[in-house]
Structures are given as C-alpha cells and as structure tokens.
Amino acid sequence: MFLFVIGLEMQPTRLWKLRREIFGLGLMQVLVCGALLTLVGVVAGLKPPVAFIAAMGFVLSSTAIVMQLLDERGDTSTPRGQRMVSILLLEDLAIVPLLAIVAFMEPDTADGVSRWVTIGAALAAIVGLVAVSRWLLNPLFRILAKAHAREVMTAAALLVVLGSALAMQWGGLSMAMGAFAAGVMLSESTFRHQLEADIEPFRGILLGLFFMGVGMSLDIPLVLADWPLILGGVLAYMVFKGIGIYAVARVTKSSHGDALQRTALMAQGGEFAFVLYSAAAAAGIVEASINAVLTATIIISMALTPLAVFALRWVTPAEPEPDLDGIESVEEAREIKGSVLIIGFGRFGQIASQALLARGIDIALIENDTDMIRSAAQFGFKVYYGDGTRMDVLHASGASHARAILVCVDKKDATTRIVEQAKREFPLTPILARSFDRQHAIELIRRGVDYQMRETFESAMAFSSAALRQLGVADAEVLEIAEDIRRRDAERLQLQLAGDIQSGITLMHGGRWTPTPLTKPRKTAKALNEEAADAMEDLPRKSASPAGQSASR
C-alpha cells in the first residue's frame, strides 16, 4: 500500500518533462552500476547469469526509502531531488524488461513455449492496466464523487490497488509492482489530491508496515550462519554501486556535494529486487540458497541507508542551521476567524493583503514557512502556521465560512492542489489564485478557479507603460495600448482553453507561429509555368503581412 502512495506522486505528465533525465541519466546509472556489480559477482565466483541477476537486482534502488528521505529533507522538488526521482523511475520501469530477460533465460519446457506464455501474460496485464487507467478510472471516480462520501472514494482507491496487484500477480510480475502501478494510474486522475489527502494520515503507518514486512522476510538463522558472506556482499555491492553512482553524477555535471548525497541515498538495493530474485529462483536460474543470501543482502543494505546518510552528514561540512529564535511565537492554525483567508504570506501575499486591510476587511493568514511567519511578526502581522494543501488545515483556518480564499503560495503544484481541493470542498466560496505562467493559468481555470493572475503580468505591463512614457508617448495613448494588450491577452487565453498553447498566437503583436518542417527541402523550388513564377515573386511580400495585420487588429 505504501508503494501505491509513492506511485501517486509519479505523475506521467510531470515525468514526461523529465524524459531526458529518465532515459539519459537514469539509463546511464543503471548500465554503469549493472556492469560494475556484475563484474563483482563474477570475481566472487558466481556464474555469469547469476552474477547478472544479482547485480541488476541490487542496481534497483529502494523507491520507498529514497522518496521518504527526500520528502523528510524537503528535496523532492529541488533539481537534485528531481534527478534522483528520474533515476528511480527508470529503475522501477527496468523491472519489466529484466523480468522478460529472466523469462528468456529460463530453460524451455518440453513444448518450448513457456517463456512466450510468461512474457505474453505480463504484457497482457500491463496493457490491461493501461487501458483501465485510460478509459475507466476517471468516469468511475466521477460517479463516486457525486455521493460526496470520502469513505467511498478511499474504498474505491483500495479496490483499484487490490485489482491492480492481482492483475500483476496473474501476469507473473508482483503485487508490489501492481500497487505501484495503481498509484501511477491514479496520479493523473482529477481526484488525485483528494485521495492523497484521505490517505495522508495513514502514510506513517503504511511506511511502518512496509518496513516491517521487509524485516520479517529476513532469514535470521541464515544471516547468523553465513554472516561473513552476507556482510562482505553488502559492503562490496554498496561500495561499487556507490562508485558507479558518483562517477555518473560527476560525468553529468553534478557538484561534488550533490554526487555524494545521491551516492548515500541510492547505494542500497530495493524492493523490486525481491521480485527479480524470486522470478529467477522460480525459473531455475538462481538456486534457493543463493536467492536467500541475495535477499538478505538487499534487506541489510536497506537498513544501512539511514546510517550512510547520517555518516555523510557527519563527515561533510554542515549547512548553516536556520535561526530558531522566536519559534515560540509561531502558532498553529486552529479555529481562525476571518472574512478572507490568505494562504501564503510571501512577497505576493503581503502586497495582496494591503488593499483588503486598507478597506478594513478582516483577514486570516496562514503560512508554512516559520522564518516568514517570524519576519511578518516583526512588522505586526499575526500569521498562523499551516499547510494549505491539507484539508484539515483549511477547515481549521476558517475556509468553510470565509467570503473568499486567496491562494498566494509560491509553489505551482501546491497552488493547483489547494485550488482543486478548496473548490471541491467549498464550491460556493470564490477562489482567487496566483498563477505562475500561461500554462499554469490555463490549468487553474480548468480546475474551476474563479480568478487567477499571472504573477509577472501586471508588473510587466506597468514596466512597459513606464518605458513608453519615457519615450515620450502620451498618457492617453499608453493607457489605450495597455488596455488593448490586456484585451488581446484575455482573448488569447480563451482560445487556448478551447485549443492548445499555440491558439490565438496572432493576437500577439509580432506573434507568428512558424511550424518546424517535417523534411528539409533538397533544392530551391522552381516555377513550372508563368503563373507560378508570378506567385513566387509575390510570396515574400504576402508572407510578411500576417504579423502586421495582427498588430493592427
């Protein structure tokens, strides 16, 4: 179930933006570490097929451990955190071709079709899950949402997890992989944030149960009997995998500190190694005794990861600790009263609050940055601590009786999540949000926001208006130009909502979309007759006209 929670964070659309890191950096790390660890296994006396299976299992880092540590450190959305997430995703995807390789390595049965049946069943399970996620999940949850019963939504999510896990098990993969796949499928659902909010209180319990399950699979008598072999295997695999991770990180221009952080976090084996080793043992490639040793090696490496991270912090210079003076002044949001709820009190929120305060409107302020809360307190503002993405915090902050909710946080994903949840929970309350760019504005409008403002739009308008005045343009004309640009921008946004990001581009002054040709012309075109020659002579003049026409409209 914990892998389902992890899968919810793996949005395919967001990960598609990281495709270069996933299939570049991730693939490079898998190949380099796989080659190093295979060599270690061969040197240790394992047969090449067994050494390869053992190595590739250890290459697959633990998504559960790394994601949890990244989340605790607040690194999930940072560039170095995103690179690690990309690598983890590639490693999770790699289990499918690795299981196919195991099927090909399996000795044929008498009819010679065993491997093809195995591969076909696995592919059928994957294709079936993709089809269900594509055409059934959103309509199903839309119907359930009409009941306005959160328990029904949670129960349906659990049913999806169970069904996905059983489908993967039927396909010869694993129930763990099915749970992870269910999370990925629901990550693109419009009800994703609601599911996350419902499951969030149980996240710690699920994490504990996950590690309890891993620990219970450790064969203690085997470890005591073969501890020199197992300990040596753990150290050898972690050291050489760490060398591979560090080398790949440095080659791809990561700093020394980031490379060390990645090495410490990802040097362990992961949960999908159990799936690979079990499949190899069932296929007769790996003996049961070797499978037990490899499984113990993975479990111990997972247990050593927090120690490796702690050791890295101990031997490397510590980052300066934030000033905690005045921490007692930070109060948690509880039963706050205010006509308007402002979520996020950074630069944007502070300015947005001024007009409301000037009108004497009672406002409630929540912020999840304690430094910002203490800084605001120095200027006389009472800001409460709270994470606006949590429904319990929104209720405690008075969102249910607020006349309006202003979302002024400085993180795009958090803004989208707050808008979606608040609009669903408080449909009659106006939601106003700070958007980050045009694409984000379109996304917020589709989520039902009542008003959105791109954070740089009006400042850029004021800036350009000042530039025109400096150039001697009359105030009346400056205002007319500014209003024309605002009108064009609004019209273009409406066209983009109905079409795509290129829609309405001719409304921009000087805007003209130039499509990339599918093929490059091999030679200069020649007219076949006089009429064509006349048309070609007029072509440059005609092609230049749309930009001017769009500017004059």
What SS3 class is residue 261? helix
Mean pLDDT check: name the lowest of 14-23, 316-325, 373-382, 447-456: 316-325
**1.10.3720.10, 3.40.50.800, 2.70.70.10, 1.20.1530.20: which CATH number matches 2-107+115-312?**
1.20.1530.20
Per-residue pLDDT, averaged over 89-112, amounts to 74
How many angstroms separate the CA atoms of 394 and 387, rounded? 8
Tracing tokens 């959160």 back to the chain, one arrives at 150
333 pLDDT more than 60: no
What SS3 class is residue 433? strand
Ranked by mean pLDDT, which of 18-27, 388-397, 460-469 comes out on top? 460-469
Reported as a pLDDT band with limits 50, 70 and 90, residue 545 is very low
For 44-82, the three-class secondary structure string (H helix, E strand, C coil) is: CCCCHHHHHHHHHHHHCCCHHHHHHHHHHHCCCCCHHHH
Which regions of 160-258 does DSSP assign to beta strands (E)? none
327 pLDDT more than 70: no
Share of the chain above pLDDT 70, in %: 79
Reported as a pLDDT band with limits 50, 70 and 90, residue 227 is confident
**Predicted pLDDT at 552:** 34
Reported as a pLDDT band with limits 50, 70 and 90, residue 550 is very low
138 pLDDT more than 90: no
**Predicted pLDDT at 326:** 42
Residues written for the chain: 553
330 pLDDT more than 50: no
Per-residue pLDDT, averaged over 159-173, amounts to 78
**Predicted pLDDT at 191:** 67
Reported as a pLDDT band with limits 50, 70 and 90, residue 485 is very high
Rg, Å, the chain Cα set = 29
How many angstroms separate the CA atoms of 140 and 494, rounded? 29
Q: Please state the pTM of the whole predicted model.
A: 0.58
User: 282 or 406, which is more confident?
Assistant: 406
Per-residue pLDDT, averaged over 171-190, amounts to 72
**Predicted pLDDT at 223:** 79
Q: What is the DSSP letter of 467?
A: H
**Average pLDDT of the chain, as a whole number:** 80
**Torsion angle in degrees (nearest 10) through CA of 463, 468, 470, 474:** -130
Reported as a pLDDT band with limits 50, 70 and 90, residue 431 is very high
546 pLDDT more than 50: no
447 pLDDT more than 80: yes
DSSP per-residue string spanning 197-239: HHHGGGHHHHHHHHHHHHHHT--HHHHHHSHHHHHHHHHHHHH
Fold of 331-455: Rossmann fold (3.40.50)
Q: How many CB atoms lie within 10 A of CB 361?
A: 14
Reported as a pLDDT band with limits 50, 70 and 90, residue 441 is very high
How many angstroms separate the CA atoms of 77 and 410, rounded? 13
45 pLDDT more than 70: yes
Where along the chain do its domains lie? 2-107+115-312, 331-455, 468-513+528-553
